[in-house]
A and B are shown apart, each in its own frame.
Chain A
């Protein structure tokens, strides 16, 4: 095996950059190594040439160029004759480059050459190409001295070691870069250590609490009204008999936790109109659990995020049960109406509609059910339709199939993705779109909502593009800026303010008779917020209510001097929107202000 000259060590030796130990070792090696002795001779020869050329600051240029070119050519030729197969190309190229530089300089009026740069460049290229290549090194690449650099970086080297490494660093760009990478890594890791995650724990607690309501976990159900329900939920979750529960023992375990079906929590990311679960109105941000059933009024809509990138939208008079909500599978049961789903690839997801099961893994599709008739529209991906476990239809998008008519053509884009699937529960701000009878529907991000019932949705802070469709079918576009604390959007963002007209009035006793039965429900809104979000919420509020000609509430707004949590505001507004008053007297509309005072000490 041919021994190749230790170019880097020889260069350092020649430049006098080695310490006494290094110098002694190189000299000992030189005494017995012919290739290295020849290599050192070449370095000295080059140095001499370079010095000679540097010394010749005056013309004659042609003579100088000729002499230099001859020397360089001779040097290159000498090197080419060496047995080392990796050297000739490198130094040949080096010689050619050097000759080119000389020629260029010769042609210039004032020959100014940066000799130091040329020399450094030539030697760096030569050394990098020609130095011994270790098993882990590739041609043309110096392997950084990892351990030495780490020790140096951590200040763990002795003075002598540090001096040696610094001598090496002075000429090694690769190690310099590696050292700089270490510094950069430390900098970012430090920044990361200082960063703290922002987690809305108040959203997690209710989810854990809700888990307690599942029948098979009833053992630890809360026993006293004074005990927070959250604590009960935690207790339920420790029930040891739970099947397929991963167990972390107090001893280190070699195997990681077995991946098992963790429960998912569905989150309402947009809700408009009357949407209920078990008779209770659903608010924006509400968490839905396995076995919950969602029921919608004819004008209502709800968009639900099940997991990142996966969710469904219900609209119209629909009813749907969340039969199974686990990370290894989601099963929905459509009892009536239609459900549009977006499913992230890889998520086992099925919708049961009567005797049919529509099964997918990552797609966008819609299932409609009217009585026993089931129709499926696929806009993306492929779905399977099964009945009694047998495949009835395989539908690649775009496709439509119905249990009555079989396959039908379907235009692409007929199924819209639900709103807000990419928003994590902690992200986004609450956007309230006030109910209005001046508009028929809102279109936001491909989702459609009936305008009359109002809408609450989660949206990322920033501009939010809205399109409103009025009773004449005209489209009105607007962009509202959603602040971090949310936004309240009135129909005036797309329609001009109505001309002031004669104001009507309502008799105070009529107002009281309608409002009084709702006081207890408003109180429950408050207590719910106390429990879930802010145990110290207090403040003065007022509801500003506009009643229209037929006695229904046209607009309601919560006016407050306090920081009102959006779910609390939405809860109050939902109650107020259902009020029915006598027709206003003396004008088409009447507006009144209802003061409310909530005080935590009363609880």
Chain B
């Protein structure tokens, strides 16, 4: 959706056009689900949070003045609602993790079950480490490294200078790198990379 076609849609939604809300939901539901998924990690509460985000979107859209991009506004609201859920989750005791199936992109090559299981375990392990980060560092890391947003846009979303975003990103990564080997699934990858590096020391980094 281009901003050109987006503006009238938001205006209609702000005016209470019922069809516009449905269109808004269908247009942005994948984006919202993806951000929630990225910020929360594997979770069985994904749908609850996505639903909550849209309830907040519909309640608050009247306040959107268009000073920022709608997607930036949506990202900010989504990350804030997700953080609220994370805070509540942290205040509760942890129950056994429920594995959440992740769908595979249509174009992705067919993955062997073992490889898929390993990949999921690595992602789950990474999120266990991400869970240890402070909320601010986590948000920046997720939006930058997992969602691929530029630092400038993240700065708008988290309401912080770009330099602060970069600093948080640096320290978030540093904490992750330092603890990566505490997770066996990731330590195995590190060891295999070390082995590969030992074999080809002259190979240049990316």
Interface residues of chain A, those whose CB is within 8 Å of chain B, are: 144, 146, 150, 152-155, 162, 166, 170, 176-185, 187-189, 191-201, 203-205, 207-208, 211, 220, 222, 227-228, 230-232, 234-235, 237-240, 242, 245-254, 256-257, 259, 262-265, 307-309, 327, 344-346, 422-427
Contacts and interface: CB of A to CB of B under 8 A. Distances in A.
Contact of B33 (A146, A197, A220, A257): A197
A208 B158 CA distance: 28
Contact of A192 (B16, B146, B186): B146
Contacts of A150: 170, 173
Given A188-B126, A192-B123, A197-B33, A263 B170 contact: no
Given A153-B206, A195-B123, A199-B33, A220 B16 contact: yes
A200 B47 CA distance: 7
A247 B47 contact: no
Contacts, number: 260
B177 A178 contact: yes
Contacts of A146: 170, 174, 177
B177 A181 contact: yes
Given A203-B47, A423-B44, A424-B47, A181 B190 contact: yes
Contacts of A424: 44-48, 98, 100
A176 B200 CA distance: 13
Interface string B74-112: 001100110110011001110110101111110010000
A235 B22 CA distance: 9
10 contacts: A155-B204, A180-B193, A180-B197, A191-B122, A201-B33, A220-B16, A230-B22, A231-B22, A257-B84, A427-B98
Contact of A191 (B16, B123, B178): B123
B92 A345 contact: yes
Interface string B177-201: 1101100001001110110010001
A15 to B, nearest CB: 15
Contacts of B165: none
B25 A205 contact: yes
Nearest to B174: A146
B105 A196 contact: yes
Nearest to A236: B58
A262 B77 contact: no
Given A204-B51, A220-B18, A251-B67, 20 more contacts: A176-B197, A181-B181, A185-B180, A188-B123, A199-B46, A208-B51, A208-B58, A211-B55, A235-B21, A237-B58, A238-B62, A250-B63, A251-B65, A256-B80, A259-B88, A308-B48, A344-B95, A346-B92, A422-B95, A426-B46
B44 A308 contact: yes
B115 to A, nearest CB: 10
Contact of A198 (B60, B103, B156): B103
Contact of B189 (A184, A237, A252): A184
B51 A265 contact: yes
Nearest to A245: B59
B47 A252 contact: no
Contact of A183 (B68, B174, B181, B193): B193
Contacts of A237: 21, 55, 58-59
Contacts of A162: 204
Interface of B: 13-14, 16-19, 21-22, 24-26, 29-30, 33-34, 36-38, 44-48, 50-52, 54-68, 73, 76-77, 80-81, 83-84, 87-88, 91-93, 95-96, 98, 100-105, 108, 119, 122-123, 125-126, 145-148, 156-159, 170, 173-174, 176-178, 180-181, 186, 189-191, 193-194, 197, 201, 204-206
B187 to A, nearest CB: 9
A199 B56 contact: no
Nearest to A162: B204
Contacts of A191: 119, 122-123
Contact of A227 (B19, B65, B177): B19
Contacts of A155: 204-206
Contacts of B145: 189
Contacts of A246: 56, 59-60
Nearest to B119: A191
A298 B191 CA distance: 62
Contacts of B68: 250-252
A184 B159 contact: no
A252 B76 contact: yes
A27 B88 CA distance: 59
A238 B13 contact: yes
B56 A257 contact: yes
Given A250-B63, A252-B156, A204 B54 contact: yes
A188 B122 contact: yes
B45 A192 contact: no
A12 to B, nearest CB: 16
A196 B73 contact: no
Contacts of B92: 309, 344-346
A129 B16 CA distance: 70
Contacts of B46: 197, 199, 424, 426
Contacts of A211: 55
Given A231-B19, A248-B60, A251-B68, A199 B47 contact: yes
A276 to B, nearest CB: 25
Contacts of A176: 194, 197
B91 to A, nearest CB: 6
Nearest to B43: A424
Contacts of B18: 220, 222, 227, 231-232, 234-235
B189 A187 contact: yes
Contact of A197 (B37, B176, B186): B37
Nearest to A242: B59
